[in-house]
Amino acid sequence: MTRLSITDAALEGLHFMRRQPRAIAQWTLLFFLAQLLGVIVAVAAAWPELADFLALPRAADAGAGAFDALERKSDLASLVSILPMWAAYIVVYVALLRAILAPEPLGGRYVRWGKAETNQLLLSLLGFFTIGVPAIGAMAIGAAMVAALWVRGTEGLAVAVAIALALGFFGVLLWIAVRLCLAGPLSFDKGKVLLFEAWPLTRHRFWPLVGTYALALLIGMAVAAVLMIALIIFALILAAVGFGVAAAIGEEALRGMRPGTAFAIVALMLTAYLVVNAFMTAVSAAILMAPLAHVYKQLARTGSTERR
């Protein structure tokens, strides 16, 4: 049985970023555009209700129905806005698979959509409907059981059953997720959608795979903490500069600021936030996704992956 190196797999994301910094730059732009598109889609989806709400009087009791309608539509808009980020994650995942499993000159292009990306999209949908939907149904049944026990006045038993079911669901889902975690690399390698065919690849390797992902998660958290500290320092510097500029301009000038200027400032701040968040997302995606490609390369060792 091929020996799995946990540390090598967990560190693959950092090694990849060191070798291919251009990829992180491209993925930062990709995630920025995906976030921006998500905001635009969310606003467009809820625009009729949003326009009705904004047109109402500002009284505290005015437009309660319009607010409820906006809130309901916002939930749908938020769900729709996830789609661009979902597609972006697929692009990044396949780019990592391509770079690690089939290393070749890519011409500096780490953002593309082709057959491999479409297969990963279909794979995620297949996993959702064959595993996610039954899991949601099982959790709904468990919640109904707990609610029935609670209504009957057996609160203690209801809490105990809820804890037992939660632990059981988590354990089963973790086991299934780990056993099928190589479905993405396998589907890329073979050029077709393969989900349960990945099951034999992880036999007798559950705990090494859990350890790999736990270590990768710790590395990701450490990198995120460093980036967050740098971001806080940068924000404090900007705040200090902003307060200094405001003090120099004066209160009267600030109150007389044109709406266009205020809008430009808010847009600039939102853009800066989206860029920073996109960069952190690109880094975390590389750290958390690359180990699977490395594990598959160690275990399968195909050596003949053709370009996709």
The residue ranking higher by pLDDT, 80 or 133, is 133
Residue 89 located in a structural domain = yes
Mark 202-218 as b/e (b = at least 16 C-beta within 10 Å).
beebeebbbebbebbee
Residue 76 located in a structural domain = yes
Residue 102 located in a structural domain = yes
Q: What is the pLDDT of residue 4?
A: 72
Helices 183-190, 259-300: inter-axial angle, 10-degree rounding: 80
Residue 308 located in a structural domain = no
What pLDDT, in 10s, does the model give residues 191-248?
Answer: 899 999 989 888 888 888 888 888 888 988 888 888 888 778 877 887 777 666 666 6
For residues 221, 226, 228, 234, the Cα torsion angle rounded to the nearest 10 degrees is -170
Q: What is the pLDDT of residue 244?
A: 67
Residue 160 located in a structural domain = yes
Residue 150 located in a structural domain = yes
Q: What is the pLDDT of residue 48?
A: 61
Contact 93, 188 (CB under 8 A): no
- Is residue 273 pLDDT above 60, yes or no? yes
Task: For residues 88-94, give the mean pLDDT.
Answer: 93
Tally of structural domains, the chain: 1
- Is residue 307 pLDDT above 50, yes or no? no
Residue 42 located in a structural domain = yes
What pLDDT, in 10s, does the model give residues 143-167?
Answer: 898 888 888 878 788 889 899 999 9
Residue 145 located in a structural domain = yes
What pLDDT, in 10s, does the model give residues 10-54?
Answer: 888 888 888 888 899 999 999 999 988 887 877 776 666 555 555
Q: How confident is the model at residue 275 (pLDDT cuts 50, 70, 90)?
A: confident
- Is residue 76 pLDDT above 70, yes or no? no
Q: How confident is the model at residue 109 (pLDDT cuts 50, 70, 90)?
A: confident
**Domain range spanning residue 96?**
6-300
- The chain-wide mean pLDDT, for the chain, equals 79
